[in-house]
């Protein structure tokens, strides 16, 4: 089968792009022909398909909120060379354009989309603003976001986004031209339905991991680990305050993001010596950091859509301490393969950290349970069979 994968970023940038690359790799491994459409960026992985990629997004390309001649023209050229049997969309909004759906439908190409964030139903990708969950525009009341400055904390950006959302809502491209939506969690599926997306068009299919790439470690180093995006909704400012009360426990923070400098300044201001920032890590280097930690932590304040870092931790035989929010409780079974705490609750989080840190046997047993759960529920073969069933249903 000829499968076109579309994502606005062609480099590793969080769980959505990791899934984009991993599912593409899986399909190619199984003998399918995989093509790519994305946006040019100096951070991109090398690709022979980049000659068709859209130019970088800027204030000069704001037309992509509505219709982009450039995006559609370049996609058309790609499809002339690579007549896809099906198109699999990931995150395309802003940097690419929903208008590309018109080009796909003009050629009668079935479209499936994995929903990695909340843009389909909200002005704000994360349903998170000013440090807390924000659903002020529910349901399709996008105009309310202007006063609230839901986009980039700016009246102008929010106003432009509101116009774009109503444009797409009334034309119906984003929702009507996609044949099937894949929700990685039941939480996401239910949230989409709650906001008016047709239930019949939504299928739950969790992400997967190749656990054979990860070697469990029965021991553990002298640190706990956070790895992922460094952004406000991930709760790292909260975690720093928790760790300020635990000076004898070391926290390593791996990743990059728009809050990186603010977080470093906070650590410096509090004069904390037990928190270290390691920057972006990937591949063997990241896997070694995971397998050698005591446990990983995910202190999210937003509705997590899935939680790839949890699967990576479990595959490494490491247990996870995480917020009880969004899709996280679908993966972490409290007291079995990890612990959950109330989001933003300092005492609850601190108590669970100390409980794990002081009990290596508990860490080992939970880590073993975590490894078993990814082997049984999140394997690549089962995922491949299910996604091919969806592709074949549409083709």
What digits encode the pLDDT tens for the residues 58-90?
877 778 888 889 999 999 999 999 999 999 999
CA–centroid distance for 266 within its chain: 26
- Same domain? For 258 and 201 the reply is no
Q: Are 236 and 225 in contact (CB under 8 A)?
A: no
DSSP 53: P
pLDDT at 160: 86
pLDDT at 301: 97
Distance CA 1, CA 28 (A): 10
- Same domain? For 322 and 262 the reply is yes
- Same domain? For 58 and 91 the reply is yes
CA–centroid distance for 289 within its chain: 21
Element (H, E) at 334: none
pLDDT at 351: 98
Burial of 295 by CB count in 10 Å (0-12 exposed, 13-18 middle, 19+ buried)? buried
Q: Is the peptide bond before 139 cis (omega within 30 degrees of 0)?
A: yes
Distance CA 202, CA 92 (A): 18
- Same domain? For 216 and 175 the reply is no
- Same domain? For 176 and 237 the reply is no
* Three-point CA angle 257, 48, 90, nearest 5°: 45
- Same domain? For 135 and 217 the reply is no
Which stretches of the chain are assigned E, i.e. beta strand? 2-6, 33-37, 86-89, 111-114, 128-129, 132-133, 180-183, 202-204, 223-227, 250-254, 275-279, 296-298, 320-323, 338-341
- Same domain? For 222 and 198 the reply is no
pLDDT at 165: 87
- Same domain? For 228 and 373 the reply is yes
Q: Residue 271 — left, alpha, or beta (φ > 0 → left; ψ -120 to 50 → alpha)?
A: left
Residue identified by tokens 């100390």 is: 354
pLDDT at 94: 79
The CATH number linked to 310 is 3.40.50.2000
Distance CA 174, CA 313 (A): 34
- Same domain? For 220 and 330 the reply is yes
Distance CA 374, CA 137 (A): 36
In the chain, how many domains are there? 2
- Same domain? For 158 and 103 the reply is yes
For the chain, residues with pLDDT lower than 70 are 218
Closest CA to 126 of 175, 169, 87, 93: 93
How does 8-39 read in b/e, with b if 16+ C-beta sit within 10 Å?
bbbeebbbbbbbbbbbbebbeeeebebbbbbb
pLDDT at 65: 80
- Same domain? For 147 and 41 the reply is yes
The residues that bridge with 53 in the sheet, in sequence order, are none
- Same domain? For 384 and 370 the reply is no
pTM for the full model?
A: 0.93
Structural domain that includes position 200: 2-208+379-394
Distance CA 62, CA 65 (A): 6
Structure tokens at 71: 């995006």
């Amino acid at each position: 089968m000829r499968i076109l994968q579309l994502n606005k970023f062609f480099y590793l940038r969080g769980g959505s792009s990791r899934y984009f690359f991993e599912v593409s790799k899986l399909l190619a491994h199984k003998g399918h022909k995989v093509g790519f459409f994305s946006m040019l960026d100096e951070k991109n992985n090398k690709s022979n398909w980049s000659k068709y990629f859209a130019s970088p997004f800027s204030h000069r390309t704001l037309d992509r909120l509505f219709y982009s001649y450039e995006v559609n023209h370049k996609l058309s050229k790609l499809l002339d060379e690579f007549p896809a049997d099906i198109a699999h969309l990931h995150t395309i909004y802003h940097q690419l354009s929903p208008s590309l759906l018109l080009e796909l439908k003009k050629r009668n190409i079935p479209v499936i989309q994995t929903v990695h964030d909340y843009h389909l139903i909200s002005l704000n990708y994360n349903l998170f603003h000013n440090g807390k969950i924000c659903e002020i525009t529910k349901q399709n009341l996008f105009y309310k976001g202007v006063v609230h400055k839901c986009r980039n904390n700016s009246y102008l950006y929010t106003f432009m986004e509101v116009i774009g959302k109503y444009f797409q809502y009334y034309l119906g491209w984003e929702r009507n031209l996609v044949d099937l939506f894949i929700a990685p969690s039941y939480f996401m599926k239910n949230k989409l339905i709650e906001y008016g997306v047709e239930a019949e068009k939504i299928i739950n299919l969790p992400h997967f991991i190749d656990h054979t790439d990860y070697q469990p470690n029965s021991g553990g180093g002298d640190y706990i680990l956070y790895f992922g995006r460094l952004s406000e909704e991930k709760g790292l400012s909260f975690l720093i305050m928790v760790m300020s009360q635990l000076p004898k426990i070391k926290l390593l923070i791996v990743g990059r993001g728009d809050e990186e400098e603010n977080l470093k300044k906070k650590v410096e201001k509090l004069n904390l010596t037990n928190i270290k920032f390691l920057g972006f890590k990937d591949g063997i280097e990241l896997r070694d950091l995971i397998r050698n930690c005591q446990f990983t932590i995910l202190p999210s304040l937003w509705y997590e859509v899935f939680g790839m870092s949890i699967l990576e931790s479990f595959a490494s035989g490491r247990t996870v301490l995480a917020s009880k929010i969004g899709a996280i409780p679908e993966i972490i079974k409290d007291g079995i393969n990890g612990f959950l705490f109330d989001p933003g609750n300092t005492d609850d989080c601190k108590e669970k950290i100390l409980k794990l840190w002081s009990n290596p046997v508990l860490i080992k047993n939970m880590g073993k349970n975590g490894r078993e759960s990814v082997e049984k529920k999140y394997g690549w073969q089962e995922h491949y069979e299910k996604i091919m069933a969806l592709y074949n249903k549409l083709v």
